[in-house]
Amino acid sequence: MNFIKRIIVSLVFIPLLLLIYYTGSIYLKAFLALLTVISSHELFKMFSQKEPGLLYVNVVLALYAFIAISTDLNQIPVILLLMLIINGIRDVFWNKIEGATQRFSYSMFLIFYPALGFGMLFRLTDFHPTLVPILAILIWVTDIFAYLGGMLFGKHKGILKCSPNKSLEGFISGFIFALICSFFIQKIFPDIYSLKHIIILSISAGIFGQFGDLIESIIKRDMGVKDSSNIIPGHGGILDRFDSLLIAAPVMCCLMTFI
């Protein structure tokens, strides 16, 4: 039953996602802002299990951080200052000393982890409107072939301690097919993408897309949860579905800028 739900949700939402990704502009920005708020809320709920004293205003700051990262990076120091002041006021005036460092760390993470990923994803549209949907497609290809490669050839498991069932063969398979798919994309759009872009696309999706998934696995294992939430039937939460993009997009944005 869960498998059927996953298929139905995928058939409905994948075309819609690709349309939003390609359309870009205010539609994409509004959508990513919503994802930032929801994923920050998911982190807030997970972290609150270990640190009940977290302030919900950090979710609002996550939205502010997304807007800043997607439009004006000069605002980031302001957000850091607000985070320190707002979270520090409670600890200073109510003498909440125990767990203060942990609360600051959790607050920083739930603000910038989703905001950085989704904000930099939006900034990819500055380079070309096809980059966002292509990165998403490559991540899906990576996920599928990493799973198939692990299922068919996976012998070396346990190397990735945060995800013992993932195999080295699966990881390599995902990267190889991301590279192959990037090559075909370059052949289809030779006027847009060059050899440099094949390398950037395959590294971003094939390596750091999988790395993003592993990072979220670490968080969930540490918090003792299976899914970040159950907002998407059969798929878990927003973080569960977009974790790869949260790392792949900033990496790709940096590579596009500096290479």
Domain boundaries, the chain: 1-23+129-259, 25-125
CB neighbour class for 56 (10 Å; exposed up to 12, middle 13-18, buried from 19): exposed
Distance from C-alpha of 132 to C-alpha of 21, rounded to nearest angstrom: 6
Give 87-137 pLDDT, tens digit per residue: 988 888 876 778 888 999 999 999 999 999 999 999 999 999 999 999 999
What separation in angstroms does the CA of 228 have from each of 39, 123, 128, 234?
8, 26, 31, 12
What separation in angstroms does the CA of 25 have from each of 21, 119, 123, 169?
9, 13, 11, 39
Q: Output the tens digit of pLDDT for each of the chain's 259 residues.
A: 566 667 777 788 889 999 999 998 999 999 999 999 999 999 999 999 998 889 999 999 999 999 999 998 888 999 999 999 999 888 888 767 788 889 999 999 999 999 999 999 999 999 999 999 999 999 999 999 998 988 888 676 766 767 777 888 899 999 999 999 999 999 999 999 999 999 999 999 999 999 999 999 999 999 999 999 998 877 789 999 999 999 999 999 999 998 8
What residues have CB less than 8 Å from 38, skipping those under 6 apart?
Answer: 229, 231, 237, 238
Helix (H) or strand (E) holding 226: none
Distance from C-alpha of 164 to C-alpha of 108, rounded to nearest angstrom: 28
Distance from C-alpha of 226 to C-alpha of 39, rounded to nearest angstrom: 15
